[in-house]
Amino acid sequence: MRVLVTGGGGFLGSHLCEALLARGDTVWCLDNYCTGEPLNVAPLHGDPRFQLIRADVSGLTADFDVPGRVDAVAHLASPASPPDYGRLPLETLSAGSRGTENALRLAERHGARFLLTSTSEVYGDPVLHPQAESYWGNVNPVGPRSVYDEAKRYAEALTMAYRRSRGVNTGIVRIFNTYGPRMRPHDGRVVSTFIRQALAGEPLTEYGDGSQTRSFCYVEDLVRGLVAMLDSGHGGPVNLGNPDECTVDELARLVIEATGSPSVVEHRPLPVDDPTRRRPDITRARELLGWSPRVGLDAGLRRTVAWAVAGRRQGDRTAGEPVEA
């Protein structure tokens, strides 16, 4: 296929670009690098089937296009961690609104498959557990996380409107916590933060008492799910995540073990609207896509730690200091 990936220079987007190229697809990577990292896709530049377009998907003109046909558009562009969307609130809302419609219009012009990467954040602080796609969520529309939550909820509504009223071949996935190589150490996500702190011998900062839960999916598994959804005709939404739930306290222990760190745990107040429990029901992904995770948390963390250690030794910015000041 010939695929346009918005946000292709980011953590998840770069892995998707790499997976599509590996199976023989042609990839256009569109990114403005507001949170992405050029080094993520640097190894891909030698492939003649890879093209980088440095642009903001929210600012594309009506006549923007890529040469030749487009078979699929994967819309991943958006700040995705609390520090990033807290720092870039208007850009986050634009990526979910104008950016999504620009990507949808391009897909419509080409008769292409459109994939929206939404998020488990549409469930907010859920009162239903685990979260199935039929659950409408418990979201604070004016809270500090709302710029991301509501941007994705709007993007889902817009995507479904294009499917119903314009006949665009769309699909929606809701991504739960994902981790792995190429996460920025200062992106604010719990896995990358714990690994960075453990490798530096610093205290691991747990917010709350550590009893809140998350379900962590290794990036290799998540990308398999994205590709499967891209190749399918399913409209979704479809949850993609690891249903094995663990507490933040358990995660801290696993990171300390994986790094061999002397770090201890330090507790801090829980942020506003931080979900207390998060676990996907992936029945729909299993039935429609034949997808489920393969990499356990312990193995995935050890792979991620090995990558981070190698990056620290080489002075690689993708595993060292953040790009954004």
Q: Residue 225's closest CA among 170, 174, 259?
A: 174
Q: Are 294 and 234 in contact (CB under 8 A)?
A: no
Domains of the chain: 2-178+217-240 (3.40.50.720), 180-213+245-274+296-319 (3.90.25.10)
* 88-to-5, 92, 93, 165, 246 alpha-carbon distances in Å: 21, 6, 9, 32, 30
- Catalytic residue of the set 33, 85, 135, 148: 148
pLDDT for the residue numbered 270: 79
Residue 305 in tokens: 């730690």
Q: Are 177 and 120 in contact (CB under 8 A)?
A: yes
Residue 319: pLDDT over 50: no
Label the pairing between strands 26-31 and 2-6. parallel
Concatenating the DSSP letter of every residue in 247-270 gives EHHHHHHHHHHHHT----EEEEPP
pLDDT for the residue numbered 323: 26
For 205-233, write each residue's pLDDT tens digit: 998 888 988 999 999 999 999 999 999 99
Residue 60: pLDDT over 60: yes
Q: Indicate if the alpha-carbon torsion angle 158, 159, 162, 164 is positive or negative.
A: negative
Asked if 148 is an active-site residue, the reply is: yes
pLDDT for the residue numbered 322: 30
pLDDT band for 315, please (50, 70, 90 cuts).
low
For 35-57, write each residue's pLDDT tens digit: 999 999 999 999 999 999 999 99
Stated pTM of the model = 0.93
**HEC-encoded secondary structure of 67-87:** CCCCCEEEECCCCCCHHHHHH
Count the alpha carbons within 13 Å of 224 in the hemisphere toward its beta carbon. 16
Residue 25: pLDDT over 90: yes
For 95-122, write each residue's pLDDT tens digit: 999 999 999 999 999 999 999 999 999 9
Cβ neighbours of residue 160 under 8 Å, at least 6 residues apart?
A: 170, 172, 235
Q: What angle do CA 111, 114, 119 make, to 5 degrees?
A: 170
Q: Are 24 and 47 in contact (CB under 8 A)?
A: no
Distance CA(36)–CA(10), nearest Å, equals 4
Percent of the chain with pLDDT over 90: 86
- Read off φ and ψ for residue 19, nearest 5 degrees: -65, -40
For 244-290, write each residue's pLDDT tens digit: 999 999 999 999 999 999 999 999 887 777 778 889 999 999 999 99
Residue 226 in tokens: 């994205």
The three-class DSSP label of residue 139 is coil
More confident residue, 311 or 93: 93
